Amino acid sequence: MVEGLKKTPTGIRGFDFIADGGLPQGRTVLVAGSAGSGKTVFATQFLAAGVQVEGENGVFVTFEEHPKDLRRNMVSFGWDIPTLEAEGKWAFVDASPEPAQEVEIVGDYDFGALLARIEHAARSVSAKRIVLDSIGCVFSHFPNVSRVRYELFRIASALREMDLTAVLTAERTEEYGDIARYGVEEFVADSVVILRNVLEDEKRRRTIEILKLRGTTHRKGEYPFTVIPYEGIIVIPLSAIELKQRSANVRVTSGNPDLDRMCGGGLFRDSIILISGATGTGKTLMVTHFVSGAAASGERCLLLAYEESREQLGRNAIGWGVDFDALEKQGKLKVVCEYPESASLEDHVIHIKEQIDSFKPTRVAIDSVSALERISTIRGFREFVLAVTSFIKHKEITGLFTATTPTLTGGSSVTETHISSITDTIILLRYVELYGEMRRGVTVLKMRGSPHEKEIRELSIDHTGMHIGAPFRNVAGILAGNPVQIAVAEMERLDQLFTSVGS
Amino acid sequence: MSKYTLKLYIAGRTARTEQAISTLRQICEEELGRAYELAVIDILERPQLAENEKILATPTLVKELPPPLRRVVGDLSNRERLLVGLDLAVSDSPKLESGD
């Protein structure tokens, strides 16, 4: 039996997951991307993580940036290249252009010198990994394209001889088109990874796609990734997350007995609840109840707020009889307030995961997800919600999201449309205009795995919080946004109609 | 005429490098007489030297003296262009004609 290809974990977070374990060992991978798509960061991280995580030394062959610049630029990612060099774990082969020098080409040549230098460097640090960044630049140094192609092919086969796992980067001119310039993919790479930096609705979105990984399996399609300080590239394997969460029948309180009753006895512990309503219908109040209910039953809640400041939230809560400061002191609550615009959605995902990992809450509330929607594209937003929900479900955490509807009465929002199928429970808060007065209504629209009330009940708010009253019995069309009163006589007639049919 | 200091970097002894060496010696004898020094450096034996000098392709001829520093890449099979690369084509004539 032929032995399968072994894989080398790259050490890049999330990438090894979509690559089903890593890159094929001893093979060459072409990493192609347009300008600013993160090729050099990927390549550098491949080497740095190789040394720091996998204990594999590396050689960096640079055709573009001077080693001096690379050393300085990569410090912000926490990669201390000079130290690694001093420890004999990292070597540069400097093939960056010398602008001051004129080079005359007279007759035929080969890249014997470059190859000798690469072999020398690889030997000197006992390298297992190598990076060539970026090979497109070689073509601009030397005019004879077919000669350069042949020589690169020779170098690539020499790398295989040396059993080095190699990452070659190459430029692309457009996000969706040829794999790389000069057709380099045809002769140098067993495997191709594409980095994209797409402009969509005036927003930049980074994705990574493994196009092929010869001889082994990998996940298909584009996955978003982000580049953050002290980490480098983190791939977010969204749709690859398996739906293997256990569902518990354990119920937890929403913090309001009336609402628990409407939900058939409380919320499920590992479920996602979406609260949708127009501004001022009581979404943040419901979050506050959720927090205090958690604290009262000895649970810890993480509150991620994207609309209001910490002070505002605290003041509101006090107005409803809940003291956030005291809860935070007891370690039962952590409030994290952030501007949605302060980071990209991908960065928010990473940040939320870090917060959950460090605080270890049993409940997470996000107020509101609609605020995050406005900084992203629809697709990016859906991926964000998927990533967060699957992560918190995996941890058996109760998640409460709020979404703001754009119209005061009735209506739905883009947010709901995109995430309602992911959520287990949807609670609607709606304004109801009756006799020239604005009142609030609440109803449980859906609740997976449990019976629940179908009525729309009146909701009132006072200094102790929210109270749920009687159903709107003689009003129709609340959810459609135009409530109509139905005469009492008509109601009775309808009731009788149904009883007579039923009996 | 000032003395020429030339270094020729090669990767192993191949037909191409032998050809480059003999062409270069012949031209130097004809054009410079004894006023030159030529060192042939085999990169396979001394890779660190190639690293320091950032040599990519072989053969590479480096003219260190007289200034300016010049590099000529290739097997030097084109005599005219080699002379231009070494600034020898203009040694007896005004600079202006060198571009022709």
Summarised one tens digit per residue, pLDDT across range A480-502 is: 777 777 776 776 776 777 665 54
Taking residues A221-242, what's their average pLDDT?
78
Tell me the average pLDDT across A226-245.
72
- Angstrom distances, CA of residue A31 to CA of A148, A171, A178, B53, B74: 19, 9, 13, 29, 30
Q: What is the pLDDT of residue B97?
A: 42
| Chain A closest-CA separation from residue B34 CA (Å) | 24
**Mean pLDDT throughout A290-295?**
92
Q: Quick one: closest CA in B to A122, which residue? A: B47
**Predicted confidence band at A477 (pLDDT cuts at 50, 70, 90)?**
confident
Q: What is the pLDDT of residue A269?
A: 86
CA dist A56 and A73 (Å) reads 22
Note if the pTM is more than 0.80. Answer: no
- Mean pLDDT is lowest, of A22-31, A374-383, A407-416, A448-457, for A407-416
> What are the two backbone dihedrals, phi and then psi, of residue A404, each rounded to the nearest 5 degrees?
-95, 130
Structure tokens at A196: 């994209």
Cis-peptide into A124, omega within 30 deg: no
Would the CB atoms of B72 and A112 count as touching at under 8 Å? no
- pLDDT tens digit sequence for A300-353: 999 999 998 999 999 999 998 899 999 999 999 999 999 988 888 888 888 898
pLDDT band at A432 (very low <50, low <70, confident <90, very high): confident
Please indicate if any CB of chain A lies within 8 Å of the CB of B6. Answer: no
Q: What are the residues whose beta carbons fall under 8 Å from the beta carbon of B29, sequence distance 6 or more? A: none
Active site residues of A: 64, 307
State the pLDDT at residue B100: 41
CB contact under 8 Å between A112 and B70, yes or no, is: no
Question: Which is higher by pLDDT, A101 or A32?
Answer: A32
Q: Among A19-23, A183-187, B56-60, where is mean pLDDT lowest?
A: A183-187
Q: How confident is the model at residue A423 (pLDDT cuts 50, 70, 90)?
A: confident
| Percent of chain B scoring above 90 in pLDDT | 8
Angle at A16 between CA A12 and CA A19, to 5 degrees: 130
Q: How confident is the model at residue A378 (pLDDT cuts 50, 70, 90)?
A: confident
Confidence of residue A446 (pLDDT cuts 50, 70, 90): confident
Identify the band that residue A414 occupies on the pLDDT scale cut at 50, 70 and 90. low
| Assigned token pair, B84 | 């231009």
pLDDT of amino acid A164: 93
Angstrom distance (rounded) from CA A494 to CA A7: 70
- Give the distance from residue A115's alpha carbon to the nearest chain B alpha carbon, in angstroms: 8
pLDDT score of A411: 60
**CA atoms of B39 and B25, how far apart (whole Å):** 11
- Mean pLDDT, rounded, of chain A: 85
Question: Residue B95: its pLDDT value, please?
Answer: 45
Please check whether residue A112 is in contact with residue B58, taking contact to mean a CB–CB distance below 8 angstroms. Answer: yes
Out of A94, A102, A110, the one facing B54 most closely (by C-beta) is A94
What is the value of ipTM here, to two decimals?
0.85
Give the pLDDT mean for B96-100.
42
Phi then psi for residue A219, to 5 deg, are -80, 145
Chain A neighbours among B 81-100 (CB < 8 Å)?
Answer: 81-82, 84-85
Q: For position A329, what pLDDT does the model report?
A: 93
Task: Write the CA distances from A456 to A3, A77, A259, A436, A439, integer angstroms.
Answer: 64, 53, 12, 19, 12
Residues A242-268 have a mean pLDDT of 80
Give the CA dihedral A99, A101, A106, A107, nearest 10 degrees. Answer: -50
DSSP conformation class of A110: B
* CB atoms B73 and A104 under 8 Å: yes
pLDDT bucket at B78, cuts 50 / 70 / 90: confident
Percent of chain A whose predicted confidence (pLDDT) is above 90? 33
A113-172 pLDDT, tens digit per residue, is 999 999 999 999 999 999 999 888 888 778 788 888 888 889 989 999 999 999 999 988
Average pLDDT over residues A389-401: 85
CA distance B31 to B71: 18
pLDDT over threshold 60, residue A65:
yes
Q: Do B56 and A102 touch (CB under 8 A)?
A: no
B35/chain A closest Cα distance in angstroms: 23
Amino acid residing at A452: H
Per-residue pLDDT, A365: 94
User: For position A85, what pLDDT does the model report?
Assistant: 94
Asked if A107 and B44 come within 8 Å (Cβ–Cβ), the reply is no
